[in-house]
Amino acid sequence: MPRIQPRDCPLALIADADTSFRFLIAETLKQAGFSVEEVDNPNSAMAAFQRLSPDIVLLDAGVPHLAGISVCEDIRRLSEGYATPVIIIGVLDDMESVKRAYGAGATDIISKPVNMEVLSHRVHYLVRSSMVLESLRLSEARLAEAQRIAKIGSWEHNILTGEMFWSEEAYRLLGMDSIGSRVSSGQFRVAAHMRGEAGFEQSLLDIITKGKSFSTDLQLARPDGEDRYIHVEAQINKDETGRPVWTVGYVQDVTERRQTEKKIRKLAYYDTVTDLPNRSLFRDYFNHAIALAKRNNRMMAVLFIDLDRFKQVNDTFGHSTGDDLLRQVAERLTSCVREGDYVSRDIFDGTIDEQDSRIARFAGDEFLVLLENINDYYDAAKVAQRIKDRLSTPFEIGNNEMSVTPSIGISIYPLDGDNLEDIIKRSDIAMYHAKEMGRNNFQFYSDSLNTAAMNHLVLESQLRKAIQRDELFLCFQPMVDLRGNGICCVEALLRWRHPDTGVLLPDGFIPVAEETGLITEIDDWVLRNACLQAKEWQAKGILNFKVSVNISGRHFRKKKLLETLRGILDRTGADPGFLELEITEGILMKNDPDTICVLNGLKEMGICLSVDDFGTGYSSLSYLKRFPLDMLKIDRSFVKDILTDSDSASITSAIIAMADGLKLETVAEGVETREQLQALLDSGCWKMQGYYFSPPLDAAELEDFLAEWRFNKGGSLGLPMLSAPQGVGP
C-alpha cells in the first residue's frame, strides 16, 4: 500500500535463506542508515512487501528454481511496486538467467560473493534515484491534475526538426486520442481540425523568424462535432548563438469563458426585449461609421422612430402584450432596412452581428436606424416610407389584432451635425414635428424645428413660474339656452399673460403643460379660481347659471380628483350645484372602473358632467350609457361646416338625435352666424356657445354682458356681436 507518512530512514527488505549472509547484509545496511526487515525465503517477501512498502528490496535469486525472480515479477504487478528498486542477489552464470531477471523488472543484479561496501553504495544510489524518480512522477501527476482542473495542456515545438510534443491534457482538450508525444505541427492541425489554422501557422512562423512570442484564440472543430475555443500562448528558446531552437507554450480551453463573455456582451449591448442593439452599441457603431464617412466624404442618416399611441396598448392589454408588439415591430424594422446600409467589419471579435448594428432600440417605444452611404435625402425618405408602409399592416398578438403607426424624424450627417448627440437630438426634434403634423409620417430636421424646440423648452421653464407670478387669469364665455333666451352656463377659459409675448391662448401652452405634468397643478388653479368667482357671483345674487371647467385626463389617472375637488369646495365655500366639469372622450374610451367610480362620486356631489369636443375622439357610442353624463358638446369643426358639408350636417344631426335618445342635453360650440344657429335649431339643438352670442370676457365684462342681456332679454337674438376685449381672443 502507498505510504501515508514519510520515514525517518529508508527501509530495506531482505529475503534470503542464508541466515549468516542475511545478517551480514542487514548489518551493513543498518550501519549505512537503513532500517531493515528480514524474511528467510523469497516466497515470504510478497507478504512483507505488501505490509511494509519498503524503499528497496534485496531478493535471493533462489537457485535452482529462481524463485526470487518470480517474486520480482509479482512485485512489479502491484501498483505500489512498479517503481521500487529490486536487487537480485545470487549466482547467475548464464545469460538467459540474467535476461530473465532484468525482464522480470530487476533494477540491478549482484553476484555472490558480495562486496558489502560496494553493496552499501549501490543500495544508497538506487534508493536515492528511486526517490528522485518518484518525486518527479508525483510532480508530473500533480501537474497533469492541475492542467486537467484548469483545462490547460502544454506543448513544445522543436524548430529544427519540426516535431511537436503535446501533453495528454492537450489531446484531451482537443477531443483527440493521443497520436504519440511526437507529432508534426501539420499532423496536429489535421488531427485537431483547427479552424483558422493559417493564423496559427503564421504565428509559429513569426516566432521562428522574428523571435516574438504570441498569444491567440483558435476555434476547433473537435472530432465529436463540438466546437471549442482554445487559447494558445508560446515563447521562444534560443541556443548559445541566439538561434531559435525550441518553442514552448500551452493551450487552454476557454470555451466557457468565451460563452460567458458573449452573454455579458449580450446583456451590455443588446436590448433584452427585442434583441436589437441598445444605444451603447449603436453609439460604438455610429462612431466607427462616422469615421469612415469622414474619410470617404459620404452622407449618413439617422431615423428616430416613435410608435404612435403605444402607451394605449400597454394600458389596455398590459406590458406583456406591449413587449410582444415591440418584438414584432423590431422584426419588421429589420426587414425594411437595405442590406447595404452597414460597413463590413467585425465588432467585438465577431461576437456581435454587424447586420443588426444599424438598428437599435433607443428607449421605450423608440427605435434608431442608421443608414450609411446615402446619396441624398431621397434615399433616407425611401427607407422611412418603407418602414411606414411595413408597419401599417395590423399586428396579430394572441387573439388580438392591433395597429400602431410610426412618427419618424430624420437627420442627415454632416448637414445636421457631426456627432451622435447632435444627430440624435435633431432627429428627435424632427420626430416630434412629425407627431405635430398628424402622426404616421416622417419629417426631416430643419433649423426652424430646432428653434421651435428651444422655444418649447423656454416656454416650459416660464410656465412653471407663471402660477407663482400670478400670470394666469380666467375669461368666461356664455352658453345660451334659446328655449328661454337665458344664459345657462359660462365656460371658464384659461389665459396666460406672458411677460414677453402678451396674452397666450391655451393652444399655445396647454400641450406643454400636458407633456410636463404641470396640467394637474394648472387644473387645480383653474378649479380654485372658478369656484372663487362663482362664490363671488353668488354673493352678488347674479349666479343663476353654472360655471363650466375643463378637466385633464391626468386627474383621473392620479385618482385624486374627488379629494382635490372636495378640498377646493370646502375652502372656497362654492356650491357644487353651480359647477360643471367638462371631460374628453379619451377618458371615456378607457372604460376604467376607477373612472366610473370617480364620475359617480362627482354626480353624488351634485356636479354636472359634460363631454367636450364630442365627435372627434374614438369612443364607442355605446359607452355613453355607462357613464353618469348630463351633456354632449358638439365640436366646433362640425358647426363650422354644417352649412357647406353634408357629412358635418349629418354627424351633427346624428349626435343630437342620439343624445336625445339617451336623455342627454347637447350644446353646439363655435356658433358664429345666424345661419348656423338656424341650422342647429332645425336639428333640435337649443343650447349654443360662440362668438355669435359673445366672445370670452373677463369677470367684470361678463357682469356687464349679463346685465345687458337681462335688460334686453336676449332681444330677438339680433344683438350686435360684441367685440372681443383686446388680448382675450377666442
- Measured over the CA atoms of residue 719, residue 723, residue 724 and residue 730, the dihedral's sign is positive
Q: Inform me whether the pLDDT recorded for 714 exceeds 60.
A: no
Q: What is the mean pLDDT of residues 678-682?
A: 92
Q: Inform me whether the pLDDT recorded for 346 exceeds 70.
A: no
CB atoms within 10 A of CB 350: 8
Range from 60-74, 209-223, 536-550, 575-589 carrying the lowest mean pLDDT: 209-223
The answer to pTM > 0.75 is no
Q: Inform me whether the pLDDT recorded for 144 exceeds 70.
A: no
- Please name the residue that has the C-alpha cell 505488501: 50
What DSSP string runs through 689-707?
Answer: ESTTT---B-HHHHHHHHH
Closest CA to 216 of 251, 175, 264: 251
Q: What is the pLDDT of residue 356?
A: 35
Q: What is the pLDDT of residue 524?
A: 92
Closest CA to 407 of 443, 380, 377, 381: 443
Q: What is the pLDDT of residue 626?
A: 80
Q: What is the mean pLDDT of residues 488-509?
A: 92
Residues in the chain: 730
Choice between 561 and 342, residue whose per-residue pLDDT is larger: 561
Domains of the chain: 11-145 (3.40.50.2300), 151-253 (3.30.450.20), 272-445 (3.30.70.270), 470-566+694-730 (3.20.20.450), 584-686 (3.20.20.450)
Choice between 474 and 361, residue whose per-residue pLDDT is larger: 474
Choice between 678 and 111, residue whose per-residue pLDDT is larger: 678
Choice between 718 and 138, residue whose per-residue pLDDT is larger: 138
For residues 83 and 55, what is the distance between their CA atoms, to the nearest angstrom? 10
Task: Express as a percent the part of the chain with pLDDT over 90.
Answer: 28
What would the pLDDT profile of 562-613 be if each residue is shown by its tens digit? 888 999 999 999 999 999 999 887 777 666 778 888 888 999 999 999 998 8
- For residues 94, 99, 105, 110, the Cα torsion angle rounded to the nearest 10 degrees is 40
Q: Inform me whether the pLDDT recorded for 315 exceeds 90.
A: no
Whether 169 and 152 have beta carbons less than 8 Å apart is answered as: yes
Closest CA to 332 of 429, 433, 437, 404: 404
Q: Inform me whether the pLDDT recorded for 104 exceeds 60.
A: yes
Closest CA to 367 of 305, 432, 410: 305
What would the pLDDT profile of 9-58 be if each residue is shown by its tens digit? 899 999 988 888 889 999 999 998 999 999 987 678 888 998 998 999 99
* 671 φ, ψ (degrees, to nearest 5): -75, 125
Mean pLDDT of the chain: 81
Work out the pLDDT band at 185, boundaries 50, 70, 90.
Answer: low
Question: Which are the contacts of 671, defined by CB distance < 8 A and separation ≥ 6?
Answer: 639, 677, 680, 688, 689, 690, 691, 692, 693
Work out the pLDDT band at 533, boundaries 50, 70, 90.
Answer: very high
Choice between 489 and 98, residue whose per-residue pLDDT is larger: 489
Q: What is the pLDDT of residue 724?
A: 37
Q: What angle do CA 308, 313, 314 make, to 5 degrees?
A: 115
Q: What is the pLDDT of residue 280?
A: 84
Task: Express as a percent the part of the chain with pLDDT over 70.
Answer: 82
Work out the pLDDT band at 334, boundaries 50, 70, 90.
Answer: confident
H helix runs in 359-446, sequence order: 377-391, 420-436
Q: Inform me whether the pLDDT recorded for 478 exceeds 90.
A: yes
Q: What is the pLDDT of residue 631?
A: 92
What would the pLDDT profile of 383-414 be if each residue is shown by its tens digit? 888 898 899 889 988 888 888 899 999 999 99
Beta strands in 286-365 (DSSP E): 299-307, 359-363
Query: Angle at which helices 45-52 and 67-77 pack, to 10 degrees?
Result: 30
Q: Inform me whether the pLDDT recorded for 345 exceeds 60.
A: no
Cell of 66: 529462481
